[in-house]
Structure 1
Amino acid sequence: MKVSTLLGVRKAVYKRRYWKILLLHLLRCTIKERNYLTVASLCDPTSSAWQRLDNEGHPGSFVAAVSLPPASFKVLLAEFSKLYKLKWRPGRLGRPPKLRFLHAVLDCVLHFYTSAVEMKTLCEIFGVPPATLSNILATAEMALELALNALPDAAICYPTKNTQLEWSKAVQAHEPLVSGVWGFVDGKNYRVQEPSDVDLQNAHYNGWLHSVLITGTLCYGCDGTLIWAKLNCPGSWNDGEMSFALQEKLADVRITVPGTGVAADTAFPASKGTRGRIVTPLKDGDLERAPERCRLGMLAMSNAITSLRQEPNGAWKVHLGVIGNCNCHCPLILPSEVGEFKTFTVFTTLEFDKRELVRFDPFYA
């Protein structure tokens, strides 16, 4: 047999094998396969980790799990139970729900907001399958939002003039060089999925961070109380653009003590209109442009402002850590109304948690 014939036969065999493998691959792709948690692989909700924690009622464990002591958890549960209704009761016919108690439902949604856990981890903690967990969270979020609206301690409100003076004295006691500062303001970015619309994508693209983001600005008092927030802005906006409403409040002598204000980073504007109201550390080149006799004092003041912003109290650190965990809960750009609702519910939840923690343990203040 000629060599050319052998090569032709071998090539034909390879070609048939190639098409056979390709066909098998296409058939394999047509088979839909889903891997998810099943009820059989999960624990019984009545003997879950949360149920054991609730039965024990240890204050430290409650704070670690839901950022609330038991007494404050019961206060929130009392309002939550008025709005979230379980159709099933012990002794009633029919199949009971997976989460049979309201305290488990409330703790589930609090875990979702205040812990950096994925949905599969929540399923393992509470012993519910993914589909059931999604339905519970969708209903519980609405009930939690209404319950927080009924609690004064969950409100985000601007401080009174007396409170501003008390906070400024506390700040000056920590850093004598800084006077009149009673709060801190900073921005926070959240990664989101790139939208298909080109204009929307450009609006949310942050050229500095090279990512598609939504952004917001938060303002805290020196004790960690959230006093102002601007949420769900396009990622291309900077902190100065988003803080116009806060600048107006700081300039209004009816609600703000003259000569007082908040500390910020160098991204915030330092113009004549905000002088004395928003203090920032030195920007690049400020020290070199200043007279030589003033540089030592300017550097000391800049270091004092930086020290204030880098050494916030425990509640401030807790808020920033929890807010950072919201990235895993916001994978998509939500519609404005839904996005505002979800983000506002997160912040009101955190504000209630912070105030109740201060009552429980003064260390958090």
Structure 2
Amino acid sequence: MQSSIRFILDMREASAFIVHFGFDPESFDCLLGLFEEHYPVDANTGRPRNFTADMALALVLMYLHNTIKQETLCVLFGATAATISRTKNLGLDILETIFRSSPNDHRWRIVWPKVQEMKVFNDMILSNTMFENETRVLNGVFGFVDGLNVPIETPKDDLEQNAYYNGWLSGHYSSQVLVFTSDGCICWVR
């Protein structure tokens, strides 16, 4: 019997990929090509890994893209907590290696758009407006702002612990503000 995630990977339905992994199948495949270059076929014990590279990448992306508990990942991937934890940590390390090896790669570079690009993004937004008052309000808009609270491990230092504590969420988080251009790319993070 195959896992739910294997079914999604084999089905290759764009909406399922976007909802669960945050990527369409083509973008997933592009990242998978880089991921496979670093993903070891065998575990440290010499035995074959429990997850193929595509399952490992799916696990990491699902972990990063969704607020999901380890127990739920175990059910979705059909694996033990230890396997999920080891694979997730390895996958996160691999993604960091990929991104750090080519920090200026246009596929993941975060850069504020040039004035001409802002105009193109504004035209994209205005092309989807129906009413005159929308056009007036959206004139000059090239992107959108959103916030993200990433859960982190509780820091050991009391001052650092206090700095990252979010009373509203009752936990420790690294809070981010992101600006997205109208093509869905991130152009600024704080």
Q: Distance in 1 between matches of 2:27 and 2:57?
A: 13
- State yes or no: 1:221 paired with 2:173: no
Say if 1:76 and 1:161 are closer, same or farther in 2 by CA, change over 3 A: same
Q: Distance in 1 between matches of 2:88 and 2:61?
A: 10
Structure with higher RCO (Cα < 8 A, 6+ apart) = 1
Question: Would the aligned equivalents of 1:216 and 1:229 in 2 still touch at CA under 8 Å?
Answer: yes
Q: Which has the larger radius of gyration?
A: 1
Q: Tell me, what secondary structure is at the counterpart of 1:181?
A: coil
Question: Would the aligned equivalents of 1:76 and 1:147 in 2 still touch at CA under 8 Å?
Answer: no
Q: Distance in 1 between matches of 2:179 and 2:186?
A: 6
Kindly state the Cα deviation for residue 138 of structure 1 after the two structures are TM-superposed. Answer: 1.1
Say if 1:140 and 1:52 are closer, same or farther in 2 by CA, change over 3 A: same
Pairing partner for 2:72 from 121, 130, 140: 121
Say if 1:196 and 1:95 are closer, same or farther in 2 by CA, change over 3 A: closer
Question: Would the aligned equivalents of 2:3 and 2:76 in 1 still touch at CA under 8 Å?
Answer: yes
Q: Distance in 2 between matches of 1:79 and 1:222?
A: 26
Aligned residue identity for 2:23? L
Kindly state the Cα deviation for residue 78 of structure 1 after the two structures are TM-superposed. Answer: 0.6
Q: Tell me, what secondary structure is at the counterpart of 1:216?
A: strand
Tell me the equivalent position of 2:26: 71
Say if 1:194 and 1:123 are closer, same or farther in 2 by CA, change over 3 A: closer
Q: Tell me, what secondary structure is at the counterpart of 1:85?
A: coil
- State yes or no: 1:83 paired with 2:38: yes
Tell me the equivalent position of 1:56: 11
Kindly state the Cα deviation for residue 163 of structure 1 after the two structures are TM-superposed. Answer: 0.8
Q: Distance in 1 between matches of 2:166 and 2:15?
A: 41
Q: Distance in 1 between matches of 2:145 and 2:20?
A: 28
Q: Tell me, which stretches of 5 or more residues in structure 1 are unaligned? A: 1-43, 89-93, 231-365
Instruction: Report the structure, 1 or 2, having the larger helix content.
Output: 1
Question: Would the aligned equivalents of 2:41 and 2:48 in 1 still touch at CA under 8 Å?
Answer: no
Q: Distance in 1 between matches of 2:27 and 2:112?
A: 23
Tell me the equivalent position of 2:83: 132
Q: Tell me, what secondary structure is at the counterpart of 1:227?
A: strand
Q: Tell me, what secondary structure is at the counterpart of 1:62?
A: helix
Tell me the equivalent position of 1:182: 142
Q: Tell me, what secondary structure is at the counterpart of 1:54?
A: helix
Kindly state the Cα deviation for residue 227 of structure 1 after the two structures are TM-superposed. Answer: 0.7
Say if 1:167 and 1:131 are closer, same or farther in 2 by CA, change over 3 A: same
Map residues 1-365 of structure 1 onto 2, 5 A cutoff. Answer: 47-87=2-42, 95-99=47-51, 101-148=52-99, 150=102, 151-170=105-124, 174=129, 175-178=134-137, 179-189=139-149, 197-204=157-164, 214-230=174-190
Q: TM-score, normalised by structure 2?
A: 0.73
Kindly state the Cα deviation for residue 204 of structure 1 after the two structures are TM-superposed. Answer: 4.5
Kindly state the Cα deviation for residue 116 of structure 1 after the two structures are TM-superposed. Answer: 2.4
Q: Distance in 2 between matches of 1:213 and 1:57?
A: 33
Kindly state the Cα deviation for residue 198 of structure 1 after the two structures are TM-superposed. Answer: 4.7
Q: Tell me, what secondary structure is at the counterpart of 1:52?
A: helix
Q: Distance in 1 between matches of 2:22 and 2:107?
A: 15
Question: Would the aligned equivalents of 1:77 and 1:103 in 2 still touch at CA under 8 Å?
Answer: yes
Q: TM-score, normalised by structure 1?
A: 0.41
Say if 1:48 and 1:199 are closer, same or farther in 2 by CA, change over 3 A: closer
Say if 1:159 and 1:57 are closer, same or farther in 2 by CA, change over 3 A: same
1:132-183 Cα distance to aligned partner (Å, 9 max, x none): 2111111110112233454522221111221112234455674343443323
Q: Tell me, what secondary structure is at the counterpart of 1:152?
A: coil
Kindly state the Cα deviation for residue 127 of structure 1 after the two structures are TM-superposed. Answer: 1.8
Give me the identity figure in percent.
28
Q: Distance in 2 between matches of 1:193 and 1:139?
A: 18
Q: Tell me, what secondary structure is at the counterpart of 2:175?
A: strand
Say if 1:130 and 1:183 are closer, same or farther in 2 by CA, change over 3 A: same
Say if 1:84 and 1:161 are closer, same or farther in 2 by CA, change over 3 A: same
